[in-house]
Structure 1
Amino acid sequence: MATFQLQRTVPLPLDEAWRRLTTWPRHGDVVPLTRITVTTPPPAGEGTAFVARTGLGPLSFDDPMEVTVWRPPAGDSPGLCRLEKRGRAVRGWAEIEVRPGPGGRARVIWREEVRVRAVPAVFDAALARAGRLMFGRAVNRLLRQP
């Protein structure tokens, strides 16, 4: 299993950083070759399920996820969202934490543990580096775009 973490500090209120990161269809706008379909009715919260479909044609796979923890930030209290990845190809979890940072800014901490079917453990370090790079770019774009 590959595990990685990334952090960003942005000049946004906590609730706005949270909104930008947890509006699931937006992730499809910033992750290459990916489309997000939310499969449960609004509002978003614990129990929300969605599928990230990544790839081109027959070289695509589904990454179904479910929100298992949903604690939006309130005032200066941090927010935490945990996603469980439940697909055949990709398993694991991701956590998105939004907390107060220096100077009234929001600090975002993204943690992820991922297992990819048929990828041996010897490749975990490379998979973690790739995840940090890909999700780092996605988080940057999500936080920049209103």
Structure 2
Amino acid sequence: MVLFQIQRCSALPTGEAWSRLTRWERHGAHMPLTRVVVTTSPPTRVGTRFAARTGVGAIGFDDPMEVVLWDPPAGGTCGLCRLEKRGSVVSGWATIEVCPRGTGCWIQWREDLRVRWLPSVFDRPVRWIAKRVFDRVLDALLRE
């Protein structure tokens, strides 16, 4: 199990940051060798499913996810989204929380990542790599 957390302050209004971070297909544009496809019809809600396909050609794996908690920010409150990862290679969960702070917002991304067949001795390097990748994804989504 690899648990990591990323926090940011942003000058974006809470609703705009939420919108950028929950535009699932855009995540793939910032992850190496990854494409994200939403498999349910919009809008995003509990039950929305999507998959991140990471790989080159026929070599790769799918990371299917489902939104299990969807509580967008409204009226000065925080927004919280929880995803369950339901893949045969990658499992775990992720939460995205966006809270108002002054004229901008505060963001927390937490993720519990499990890679099947990978011994726990690799947890530390997987955490380091995952945190770096998601640091970049988060920053890029907020810049869009």
The TM-score, its normalising length taken from structure 2, stands at 0.97
Secondary structure, counterpart of 1:43 in structure 2: coil
Match in the other structure for 1:129: 128
Shift of 1:137: 0.3
Quote the Cα distance in structure 1 between the aligned partners of 2:128 and 2:75: 34
Counterparts of 1:1-16 in structure 2 under 5 Å?
1-16=1-16
Larger fraction in strand: 2
Shift of 1:58: 2.5
* Unpaired runs of at least 5, structure 1: none
Match in the other structure for 2:34: 34
Shift of 1:98: 0.3
- Return the letter of the residue paired with 2:126: L
Match in the other structure for 1:52: 52
Match in the other structure for 2:109: 110
The TM-score, its normalising length taken from structure 1, stands at 0.96
Quote the Cα distance in structure 1 between the aligned partners of 2:11 and 2:106: 9
Secondary structure, counterpart of 1:60 in structure 2: strand
Q: Where in structure 1 do 4 or more consecutive aligned residues deviate above 3 Å?
A: none
Quote the Cα distance in structure 2 between the aligned partners of 1:30 and 1:122: 28
Shift of 1:117: 1.1
Match in the other structure for 1:69: 69
Quote the Cα distance in structure 2 between the aligned partners of 1:124 and 1:100: 33
> How much identity, in percent, do the aligned residues show?
55
Quote the Cα distance in structure 2 between the aligned partners of 1:91 and 1:16: 29
Match in the other structure for 2:94: 94
RMSD: 0.8
- Return the letter of the residue paired with 2:97: E
- Return the letter of the residue paired with 1:138: V
* Unpaired runs of at least 5, structure 2: none
For residues 44-95 of structure 1, the C-alpha deviation after alignment (integer angstroms, 9 at most, x for no partner) is 1110000100110132100000000000000210000000000000000000
Quote the Cα distance in structure 2 between the aligned partners of 1:91 and 1:108: 23
Aligned pairs, how many? 144
